[in-house]
Structure 1
Amino acid sequence: MPSHSDDWSGRHSVLTTARRTAALINALAGDRPDPAEVADVLRAYGETGPIDLTTGDVAGMRTAASLLREVFAAEDADGAAATLNRLLHEHTGPLRLTSHGGSTPWHPHLDRDDDGPWDEWLLASSCMALTVLVWDRQRPPGRVCASPSCQNAFIAQGSGPERRYCSRRCATRERVAAHRRSHAAEQPSETE
């Protein structure tokens, strides 16, 4: 069984865990995600030790990521909360505290076992972080990029108007495409 490090007391803030969730949703979105690339995302967000993901682990994580994407696709806080409540009810264990046998500070877990499978860990730790963000901000914790050519999940926490795109690059690409469409519509056709 894998060992997961979800140290909520420092290395993994709620926001960092939510960002890790979005990054994993995006990394797991393809038809055949590469286990090494998924492991790289896990390392980038603080997982330590050997990460030996099998294709079976990645397939399970891909299913969990698909379920979590629904939270990012929610239109409002009510939709995000309803989705999270369903996921918590159907896929996680009861809230408990663990120190992983004394190797980490005490922190909350929703998965059923400290050394449970990767997909269960991803779903449980992500649900916890996303739940806290909905509770704190009273809005969905993130979005799915509005660019039809992208569709990446991203965390949309912060002040200012709500973001529709995952990056400036996607926003610029869509503005340019809209400008070109409107400019083309203004041009008289050659048959007139």
Structure 2
Amino acid sequence: MQPRQTQRQDPERPLGLRFVVDAINAPNPSSSWSALTEAHGDPLLGELATQQEHVHAAVHALRSIFEIQDPGQAAAKLNQLLAECSTQPELAELPDGRWALRPSLTGTSTAATTLTRVGAFALATWLSERGRCAWGLCEATGCDRAFIDEGRRAAQRFCSTTCATRTRVALHRKSGAVADAGDTTATE
């Protein structure tokens, strides 16, 4: 599966949230590392060393945060990751002249370290902006893709409209089959 192209790209650094989601959802993030960094605006990061077991561990650590829905638990886990990877924020000027607070990638020598720094910082920032765990893993049967909840109303439960529709149709068919079975026994 190819990483999803995003609308907004920052040529200075990978987009934190979308970069992390695409890395977590990639079938083999260590082998697609170069394509992920290219798609998210920083092809130079694609040249970093990618040891499969370390990248897998970073993906696992970040994915475990997507399972957490309690803000206190998420904050504790994110603070632990931020401390482990010594993430220091820095102000960076974007190509359009705006300023953004980003994790420092100075001294980053591996894909796993970079992914952990960018991921933990992006998720911590998202939690602080939203005030809730605005993320999750898809609830559709047979899908466990990570997603970022950008909605303003009810919490998002699915990674895409495709999964949401498939789940609704299956539920409708199931309720229709139950209703049909109920009608048959009621007439006997």
Output aligned runs, 1:27-66, within 5 Å. Answer: 27=26, 30=27, 33=28, 35-49=30-44, 51-52=46-47, 57-66=51-60
Residues 1:185 and 2:178 are matched in the alignment: yes
CA RMSD of aligned residues (A): 3.1
1:78 equivalent in structure 2 = 72
Aligned residue number for residue 6 of structure 1:
none
Residue 4 of structure 1 corresponds to none
Q: What are the ranges of 5 or more consecutive residues in structure 2 without an aligned counterpart?
A: 1-9, 93-98
2 CA distance for matches of 1:20 and 1:170?
Answer: 21
In the alignment, the residues of structure 2 paired with residue 168 and residue 125 of structure 1 have an alpha-carbon distance, to the nearest angstrom, of 27
Residue 95 (structure 1) aligned with residue 88 (structure 2): yes
Report 1:138-149 matches (<5 A).
138-149=131-142
Question: Is it true that 1:24 corresponds to 2:11 in the alignment?
Answer: no
2:4 is matched with: none
Deviation at 1:46, TM superposition (A): 0.9
Correspondent of 1:161 among 154, 171, 174: 154
Q: Please, which runs of 5 or more residues in structure 1 have no aligned partner?
A: 1-9, 100-104
CA contact (8 A) 1:22 1:154 kept: yes
Closer, same or farther: CA 13–138 of 1 in aligned 2, 3 Å? farther
Aligned equivalents of 1:154, 1:170: Cα separation in 2: 12
On the 8 A contact 1:93/1:110 being kept in 2, the answer is no
Q: Which has the bigger relative contact order, CA under 8 A and spacing at least 6?
A: 1
CA distance in 1: counterparts of 2:127 and 2:170, whole angstroms: 33
Which one-letter code corresponds to 2:62 in the other structure?
Answer: L
| Partner Cα distance (1:50, 1:134) in 2 | 25
CA-to-aligned-CA distance 1:6-40 (integer Å, 9 cap, x gap): xxxx54689x311110110000xx4xx27553322
Does residue 151 (structure 1) correspond to residue 150 (structure 2)? The answer is no
TM-score by length of 2: 0.75
How far apart, CA to CA, are the structure 2 residues paired with 1:126 and 1:50?
Answer: 14
How far residue 187 of structure 1 moved from its aligned partner, in angstroms, is: 2.4
Q: 1:58 to 1:107 in 2, by over 3 A?
A: farther
1:67 aligned to which of 56, 61, 66: 61
Shift, 1:152, TM fit: 0.4
